[in-house]
Amino acid sequence: MLAKFWNKFTIPFLKNMGRMNNPTAPPVVVVLGATGTGKTKLSIELAQKFNGEVVNADSLQVYKGLDIITNKVTKEEMAMVPHHLIDFLEPLTPITVVDFRNRALKVIQDIFQRNKMPVIVGGTHYYIEALLWEFLIDADKTASDTFLFQQDKMQKENQIETESSQVNVDTVFSKPIFMSSFKDVPSDVLYNILMEVDPEAAQVLHPNDRRKVIRILQIIQRNNGTKYSDLIKDQHSKTGGSNLSGPLRYPKTVIFWTHTEPDILNKRLDDRVDEMLRQGLLKELTDFHTNYASSRVSSGFKPDYTEGIFQAIGFKEFHSYLVQEEKNEKLLEKSILEMKVQTRRYAKKQMKWIRNRLLEAHNRIIPPLFQVNTSHPENWVVDVRDKAFQIMERIIADDILPHDLQPVSQTQTKVIDRKRVRRCDICNKVCAGQEQWEAHVQSKGHRALKKTGI
């Protein structure tokens, strides 16, 4: 079954990659999972064993320094195998998923040309998704998002504003669209503009999701007025496309999902925060805040802690403590507790992505996905390393996988409409998706208002 799947897509893939003369070319290997589940360790072991090179897919580990807060792979670990796209950007340099994808595709191409195996690893799953599947926005269709964000930042610092009363379809599309251009424009005004130019696209967004609304308006503008919904339909109509994306970019792909039991993972993540503090987390954050504030003031601007890396876990939780001249121990304890809570919450969010975008993505072609249990470090060799090695050896040799090494099958859960936005006129509440709608209509508040007829 696995061989048939690959054979169906491998020939056109090899043609595109210029690799027809090398039918034994290695697959793309992906190691994903929640934070704290051992992704780094497994990726290095796979790269060492199968002549691979690691491609980082963590949105924070691309930045120089900040080694503790980002839980960055150590210098010793990086010395074991070649690593790419890690520790190469200044911390305040903006980078988008499009920027990352464009850089990473070139790196992967280079790894293939040297007949080595790319091992993509990270917890920023939408980075990985942008690499594995073809999406709407490609390098030849849009300008550099880094440039756009730099222009966006410039506009904000120059305090360029657009009055809400002046915003309509004509004014929105009369000049390049930036997030900060409409910072004082209510979200519902922007949403109504999207409803006017592309009602089908607007109907799957929450009216308050201004980032996505503006992003779609940007895409419409850069595609000469073509509706976003039409662009999506065109993408999905391609062979192998789905309601989530276009076809697989690398059909010969293997995914390893490092999974740790929730109770064990929560304890592990709490312990990791404590270890970060012992390693010098507070000094790292203090030095970074101090240097940033100093550079902003010397440039004539006030420090802005509301965007970019300052919204990452660890920065925002400790912000109030760090900006105080006299340190408050109770505030420090609160910051530590909040960081632990947010880290556990982030792990749950990562798990939700795996469930929604892989396990329950029924009409999407998913590469073979293998779960390895990383709950017990003392059993790592048997439960994780050796299992992954056996799977890779059979895949590379194009052998049939035994029953105990089969990939995880997509769940047979009911396919529901996760996107459609509905408004409850009784409660004046907007619900995004079928699940939220069903939960709302069953809520006590809704039933009470419906009963009274108010």
**Count of CB atoms within 10 A of residue 180's CB?**
21
Name the residue ranges covered by the structural domains of the chain.
Answer: 2-134+243-263+346-405, 417-454
Whether the Cβ atoms of residue 131 and residue 56 lie closer than 8 Å to each other: no
Q: How far apart are CA 400 and CA 392, in angstroms?
A: 11
pTM of structure = 0.73
List all residues 6 or more positions away from 360 whose beta carbon is below 8 Å from its beta carbon: 410, 411, 413, 415
CA distances from 27 to 10, 51, 200 (A): 10, 11, 38
Dihedral angle computed from the Cα positions of residues 368, 369, 371 and 372, in that order, rounded to the nearest 10 degrees = 70
Look at the domain 2-134+243-263+346-405 and name its fold. Rossmann fold (3.40.50)
At 109, which helix (H) or strand (E)?
A: helix 97-113
**pLDDT at residue 155 in the model:** 42
**DSSP string for 41-73:** HHHHHHHHHTTEEEEE--TTTTBSS-TTTTTPP
**pLDDT at residue 179 in the model:** 58
Residue 164: phi and psi, rounded to 5, are: -60, -40
Whole-angstrom Cα Rg for the chain: 24
What are the beta bridge partners of residue 371? Answer: 257
**Count of CB atoms within 10 A of residue 289's CB?**
18
At 30, which helix (H) or strand (E)?
A: strand 28-33
- Determine the longest span between alpha carbons in the chain, in angstroms: 73
Whether the Cβ atoms of residue 375 and residue 316 lie closer than 8 Å to each other: no
Q: What is the DSSP letter of 207?
A: T
Whether the Cβ atoms of residue 282 and residue 318 lie closer than 8 Å to each other: yes
Edge-first strand listing for the sheet containing 253-259: 83-84, 52-56, 117-121, 28-33, 253-259, 369-373
**pLDDT at residue 103 in the model:** 96
CA distances from 187 to 164, 190, 210, 211, 212 (A): 10, 5, 6, 9, 11
Whether the Cβ atoms of residue 122 and residue 37 lie closer than 8 Å to each other: no
At 430, which helix (H) or strand (E)?
A: strand 429-432
Q: List the structure tokens of 168.
A: 């309509």
Is residue 299 classed exposed, middle or buried when 0-12, 13-18 and 19+ CB atoms within 10 A define those classes? Answer: exposed
Q: How far apart are CA 273 and CA 343, in angstroms?
A: 9
Q: How far apart are CA 319 and CA 53, in angstroms?
A: 36
pLDDT tens, N- to C-terminus, the chain (454 residues): 444 444 444 434 444 443 433 456 789 999 999 999 999 999 999 999 999 999 999 999 999 988 999 999 999 999 999 999 999 998 888 888 888 999 999 999 999 999 999 999 999 999 999 999 987 554 334 333 333 344 444 444 433 344 555 677 777 776 666 655 666 778 888 898 899 999 998 988 888 888 888 888 888 888 888 888 888 777 767 655 566 677 889 989 999 999 999 999 999 999 999 999 999 999 999 998 888 877 876 777 777 776 667 878 888 899 889 888 777 889 999 999 999 999 999 999 999 999 988 998 777 889 999 999 999 999 999 999 999 999 999 999 989 999 999 999 765 444 344 456 677 877 777 776 666 777 888 887 887 777 765 5
Q: What is the DSSP letter of 422?
A: E
Whether the Cβ atoms of residue 128 and residue 122 lie closer than 8 Å to each other: yes
